[in-house]
A and B are shown apart, each in its own frame.
Chain A
């Protein structure tokens, strides 16, 4: 045994390949941020009225301080970009980021590749809340649907949490089971309300599948603080989340306050998921495939996985929403249909490529 090595206190200057691999992952984060930027610019040019990229760049430049560009475009172009497309793609990006990072967090917490952001009650809670919102008078709906969806999501998770909690500890398997059981109950109530809803059924179904069709700036403004704060909290806990991949006992023995970390991460992930779904509905698949795709390509270290999933999720959902609004224009396809239709084959391709354990 080369034990004398342990006593060697001189620290070699040369580094192993490891820091280099870290560097490549940092480059990947920067790369995905750039991709997100390109995706945002390009998709804001695409739509029922195609705007040439040259016009688009002039319109955008004109909005920057200290840049003067003579307007050569119709004011309607500006309206389309700033009042219709930009808020919509920002919300899609925020929601995609939130679902992907929440999915990665849940998968890490539960150490289960099948976990997604909706696992412990967010989706059925939000759905029931939204359906109740749809049944209220039409004039209230703009506020009541998102508010009740948000409240329903948080309430459902709170109930699941309090059922699963045993003394000071939170057994994760009980949490999943309680989430699934309460979800089934809430889904039953939701289904009943849907059948009884009459002519509102179409609106309800399109909400449940997810859509960004009625996005405006105030929705972006409402959602941003929750998603930004929650995402930052989650990013900061990426090392504890890594250590918790060992198991809870080993994590405790390595100095992690496991119950506290679980509570913080569950809270943050639930909050951003609830904020994500409350305006646009239950968009499936993003929260499960984006984290796995990122894990397949860049490995399981949450310090890179979480930011990479955030930016990849944002780009993915913006692209999916662009497809949703353009493929059958002027008819909108629910974006949830697109995420599954485009996302599933891509994910299957990745699985096939790697041919190794993915979690």
Chain B
């Protein structure tokens, strides 16, 4: 069984440490959300797990292997990333970009075979991108490009998918669609899905467990009910909000109000 495990990992850029002693674990079929304010180190954590930066201390284990000892190719066969605002080359077609997901499975001398094309086609159908497979990237909207990078990640046939702010710049329907897809993949394919999110409501609704980062450290982690509460959000984000149980599933729903109504909100949350 595949697993992702961080053991006291510290990450940073040069001499500046951004994350201190992060330990966490994720199992297949589980969707783990990373939340925290801007600058708390969410993206740095993703970059560390994908080894774009190496830990200054601690170890990252993928499937029991120390990630630092794996080749880039081995890593890419286990781990796929959907980056935030991924830059895609405008002249390539959607299909060609998704096909790039097969890269870790192909050597220098091999062209994509029937099997690779079939995997790519299925990934595109699952993400509803097949309809514009032949169009050039330059002609596609932000939401379409975002779904393409998810299709590309699926084409890698990974065991772990990391999503960095997958819902940023998406309309609410695509936010839900994207996370529905992630959740479905997680459950049906027994994948580990780790996603950073800035929307606390999406995080509460879609993730099994949440890790809340604050100033480079884990402020708390656990189920959404444990992590998301008025007190924690006030301390970590410095924002006054009202957390109320969701009418359908009792998961914490975060409500906000403009300054003139905030007093009423405060009284409600008492």
Using a CB–CB cutoff of 8 Å, the interface residues on chain A facing chain B are 1-3, 5-8, 11-13, 15-19, 111, 236-237, 239-240, 242-243, 245-247, 249-250, 252-257, 295, 299-301, 303, 356-359
A5→B86 contact, CB < 8 A: no
A253→B121 contact, CB < 8 A: no
Since A252-B52, A255-B103 are in contact, a sample of 15 more A-B pairs with Cβ atoms closer than 8 Å, ordered by chain A residue number, is A1-B126, A1-B127, A1-B181, A2-B125, A6-B122, A8-B122, A11-B115, A12-B118, A16-B133, A240-B103, A242-B100, A253-B52, A253-B80, A254-B76, A300-B92
With a cutoff of 8 Å between Cβ atoms, the chain B residues found around residue A1 in the complex are 126-128, 177, 180-181, 184
Min distance, Cβ A209 to any Cβ of chain B, angstroms: 33
Interface of chain B residues 168 through 218 with chain A (CB within 8 A): 177, 180-181, 184-185, 188-189
With a cutoff of 8 Å between Cβ atoms, the chain A residues found around residue B96 in the complex are 242, 301
- How many angstroms from the CA of A250 to the CA of B188 in the assembled complex? 26
- How many angstroms from the CA of A253 to the CA of B101 in the assembled complex? 10
Question: Is B10 in contact with chain A by the CB < 8 A criterion?
Answer: no
With a cutoff of 8 Å between Cβ atoms, the chain A residues found around residue B79 in the complex are 253
Given contacts A1-B180, A6-B122, A19-B117, whether A299 and B91 have CB atoms under 8 Å apart is yes
With a cutoff of 8 Å between Cβ atoms, the chain A residues found around residue B100 in the complex are 242-243, 246, 254
Q: Which of A6, A16, A256 contacts B189 (CB 8 A)?
A: A6
A254→B125 contact, CB < 8 A: no
Closest to B109 in A: A236
Chain B interface size range: 35 or more
Question: Is B242 in contact with chain A by the CB < 8 A criterion?
Answer: no
- How many angstroms from the CA of A243 to the CA of B86 in the assembled complex? 13
Given contacts A253-B76, A253-B80, A255-B103, whether A16 and B91 have CB atoms under 8 Å apart is no
Going nearest first, the 3 A-B pairs with the smallest beta carbon separation are: A255-B76, A255-B104, A245-B89
Given contacts A3-B184, A7-B188, A359-B90, whether A253 and B83 have CB atoms under 8 Å apart is yes
Q: Which of B76, B80, B91, B181 contacts A295 (CB 8 A)?
A: B91
With a cutoff of 8 Å between Cβ atoms, the chain B residues found around residue A252 in the complex are 50-52, 72
- How many angstroms from the CA of A138 to the CA of B227 in the assembled complex? 83
Q: Which of B71, B87, B93, B181 contacts A3 (CB 8 A)?
A: B181
A250→B114 contact, CB < 8 A: no
Given contacts A3-B188, A256-B103, whether A15 and B117 have CB atoms under 8 Å apart is yes
Min distance, Cβ A62 to any Cβ of chain B, angstroms: 40
B91→A359 contact, CB < 8 A: yes
B184→A11 contact, CB < 8 A: no
Interface of chain B residues 104 through 123 with chain A (CB within 8 A): 104, 106, 108-109, 111, 114-115, 117-118, 121-123
With a cutoff of 8 Å between Cβ atoms, the chain A residues found around residue B245 in the complex are none
Q: Which of B50, B92, B127, B184 contacts A253 (CB 8 A)?
A: B50
Interface of chain B residues 52 through 66 with chain A (CB within 8 A): 52
With a cutoff of 8 Å between Cβ atoms, the chain B residues found around residue A111 in the complex are 89
> Which has the most chain B C-beta neighbours within 10 Å: A5, A8, A255, A257?
A255
With a cutoff of 8 Å between Cβ atoms, the chain A residues found around residue B25 in the complex are none
B126→A5 contact, CB < 8 A: yes
B66-88 Cβ-contact flags toward A at 8 Å (1 or 0): 00000111111101110100111
B101→A254 contact, CB < 8 A: yes
Closest to A18 in B: B95
A6→B154 contact, CB < 8 A: yes
Question: Is B134 in contact with chain A by the CB < 8 A criterion?
Answer: yes
Question: Is B230 in contact with chain A by the CB < 8 A criterion?
Answer: no
B103→A239 contact, CB < 8 A: yes
Closest to B93 in A: A299
Closest to B118 in A: A11
Question: Is B156 in contact with chain A by the CB < 8 A criterion?
Answer: yes
Q: Would you give 8 A-B contacts (Cβ < 8 Å), ordered by A?
A: A1-B184, A3-B126, A17-B134, A237-B108, A252-B51, A253-B83, A295-B91, A359-B91
> Which has the most chain B C-beta neighbours within 10 Å: A7, A253, A303?
A253
Given contacts A18-B95, A253-B52, whether A2 and B72 have CB atoms under 8 Å apart is no
Q: Which of A242, A250, A357, A358 contacts B86 (CB 8 A)?
A: A250
A357→B91 contact, CB < 8 A: yes
Min distance, Cβ B72 to any Cβ of chain A, angstroms: 5
Question: Is B138 in contact with chain A by the CB < 8 A criterion?
Answer: yes
- How many angstroms from the CA of A3 to the CA of B83 in the assembled complex? 22
B91→A300 contact, CB < 8 A: yes
With a cutoff of 8 Å between Cβ atoms, the chain A residues found around residue B180 in the complex are 1
Min distance, Cβ B141 to any Cβ of chain A, angstroms: 16
With a cutoff of 8 Å between Cβ atoms, the chain B residues found around residue A7 in the complex are 188-189
Min distance, Cβ A271 to any Cβ of chain B, angstroms: 19
With a cutoff of 8 Å between Cβ atoms, the chain A residues found around residue B89 in the complex are 111, 245-246, 300
Min distance, Cβ A89 to any Cβ of chain B, angstroms: 32
A15→B114 contact, CB < 8 A: yes
- How many angstroms from the CA of A17 to the CA of B77 in the assembled complex? 27
